Each structure stands twice: as C-alpha cells, then as structure tokens.
Amino acid sequence: MLTTMCLSAQYRRPKLVLLATMVALASSSVIAVIIGFILSVTLPVEIITYMSGFLFLILGIFTLVKSDSETVDTCDNPGTLFGMFSIVLLSELGDKSQIATLALAAQSPYPIMIFLGAIIGFFIVNSIGSFTGTNIAERIPIKTVKRVVGIIFILFGILVIFRIL
C-alpha cells in the first residue's frame, strides 16, 4: 500500500496507479497460485529480492533527479505505467503476501478462491493507498512530494537489499 500511496502522490492519477498496482498484484498472485512453487525452486528468492531492492533504488534516484521540476507527470508515457507495474510486481515477488497466497493455495482445494480473496484484499488496501496518496499530494508542493517519494524509495531499496524489509 505504501508503494501505491507514493506512486499516487507522485503522479496524481489514482485510478491509473490503482490499475497498474492491481494488474501487478494480480500477476503476482497468479504466479503464487500457479507457478509459485516452481519459481521458488528454480529462482532463488535472494535474486528476486535484490532485483526489487535495486529497482526501488533506481526509481528513487530517478525521482530525486527529476524532483526540481514543478510539473506533475501526466502518465501519458507508456513507460510510466510499465514502471509502476514493474516496481509493484517485483516488490511483491517473494513478499509475505505472495508467500501467504502460495501457502493457502497449496493447502486449499479451491485455489481460485484464494486468488479471488487475495485480489479483493489487495484492491481494498490499494484503493485506500491510491486515493490517500493523491489527497496528500494536493496539499503539498510537487517538488516536496517528489523528494519525499524519492527518499522513501531509496530507503525501501536499501532495506530490501539488506533484507530488513
């Protein structure tokens, strides 16, 4: 949810951020339900963790570099939507919510119900985050929002890389 809030505050397009977030979370949940076990056997969680951490660092640095601009990104660039999708997807791979979804799906005779429950939960939490981020951003200058978002993403990257988060 915090990633969704930060993205929404930065881009001020809560519906688009929510869409990118939900597509990423649905993708993550599909991986967890269908091929989560195979992924955990063939690709070490450490690699996924480091990729996620470095993606947060890169996005944080990029955001800080662009923080002097007073203009709000309109998200018209397809790369922006892909960037939002990528950071949410990679941050969820191997995350507690994905592991919980995987564990529940492995134990349940109804894995589709586990998937649907996960998606409903993600939608509720990230809807709140998306619209909260936009509301906060309307009260704070965009330069400040970009700097705070950049610092938060860099901090997330460091915490993920050092396996604190």
pLDDT computed for residue 74 by the predictor = 53
Q: Is the pLDDT of residue 72 over 70?
A: no
Q: Is the pLDDT of residue 82 over 80?
A: yes
Return the sign of the alpha-carbon dihedral for residues 79, 50, 22, 109.
Answer: positive
Q: Is the pLDDT of residue 15 over 60?
A: yes
* pLDDT tens per residue, range 110-123: 888 888 999 999 99
Q: CB neighbours (10 Å) of residue 59?
A: 24
Local structure of residue 42 (DSSP, 8 states): H
Q: Is the pLDDT of residue 91 over 80?
A: no
- How many domains does the chain contain in total? 1
pLDDT computed for residue 155 by the predictor = 93
pLDDT computed for residue 120 by the predictor = 95
% of residues, the chain, pLDDT over 70: 82
- Range(s) of the domain holding residue 129: 2-161
Amino acid at the residue 18: L
pLDDT computed for residue 154 by the predictor = 92
| Number of helical H runs and strand E runs in the chain | 8, 0
Helix (H) or strand (E) holding 135: helix 111-139
**Mean pLDDT in the chain?**
80
pTM, 2 dp: 0.65
